[in-house]
Amino acid sequence: MSKVVMYGSVSVDGFVADENDQPGPLFDWLSGGDVPLDESGALKVSQASYDHTRPYWDQIGVTIAGRHVFDLTDGWDGKPPSGIDHVVVVTHRPSPEGWDPEAPFHFVDGVESAVAKAQALAGDRLVEVAAGDVGGQALAAGLVDEVRMDVVPVVFGSGKRYFGPVDARHLLEDPDAVIQGDRVLHLRYRVRRGS
């Protein structure tokens, strides 16, 4: 089975967006460097961020996101972001009217079904779950193997929580990666199993 990784950029006080779904400066680190992160050249990061992020992105086969994020991004115009093969959208609604059925997007009801579908599609590649409500649901259901976060030096005070609706304690292992980039700290934790 594919490893499931919860991932996102986050403020130091634990938010992925403000209350109006705006990420503010959370993605500034993706444009503040001089090393191109992808072929488009639009994303440029520090060498340290590139060395940490690019190999991770190259391993992702499928991203799981909620319908809210899908709608906010207009479904990425039917093209999965960052060269990912498939996107699994957790939703209780059908695909949007006029949606291209050939686009590599899969609309699934429930986080457990989404992870199962993503793992089937990913093969031996990683399954990435977007931080926020869906990521928090996957963590609470015991479906996340690893948590990765790009911590940005900003305090939001309130907004959309990185771990979404999680309201119980979940232990993580000690970080096995702590990488300082420009205006970002990259962290990686394995999820502790058992008590």
Instruction: For residue 83, give the DSSP letter.
Output: G
Q: How many CB atoms lie within 10 A of CB 187?
A: 18
- In a domain? residue 75: yes
Rounded to whole angstroms, the Cα distance separating 165 from 69 reads 16
Q: Give the pLDDT score at 82.
A: 78
Residue-wise DSSP of 55-69? HHHHHEEEEEEEHHH
Q: Give the pLDDT score at 195.
A: 57
Q: Give the pLDDT score at 167.
A: 86
- Least Cα distance to 147 among 155, 137, 158, 135 occurs for 135
Q: Give the pLDDT score at 148.
A: 98
Indicate the SS3 state at residue 70. helix
- In a domain? residue 150: yes
- Using 70 as the pLDDT threshold, list the residues of the chain that sit under it: 195
- In a domain? residue 143: yes
Count how many domains the chain has.
1
Q: Give the pLDDT score at 12.
A: 98
Residue with tokens 């199962």: 116
Rounded to whole angstroms, the Cα distance separating 139 from 144 reads 5
Q: Residue 187 forms beta bridges with which residues? A: 149, 178
| pLDDT, tens digit (0-9, with 9 covering 90-100), for 12-39 | 999 999 999 999 999 999 999 999 998 8
- In a domain? residue 8: yes
- In a domain? residue 18: yes
Q: Give the pLDDT score at 160.
A: 96
Owning domain of residue 14: 4-190
- In a domain? residue 24: yes
What CATH code is carried by the domain that includes residue 99? Answer: 3.40.430.10
- In a domain? residue 152: yes
- In a domain? residue 195: no
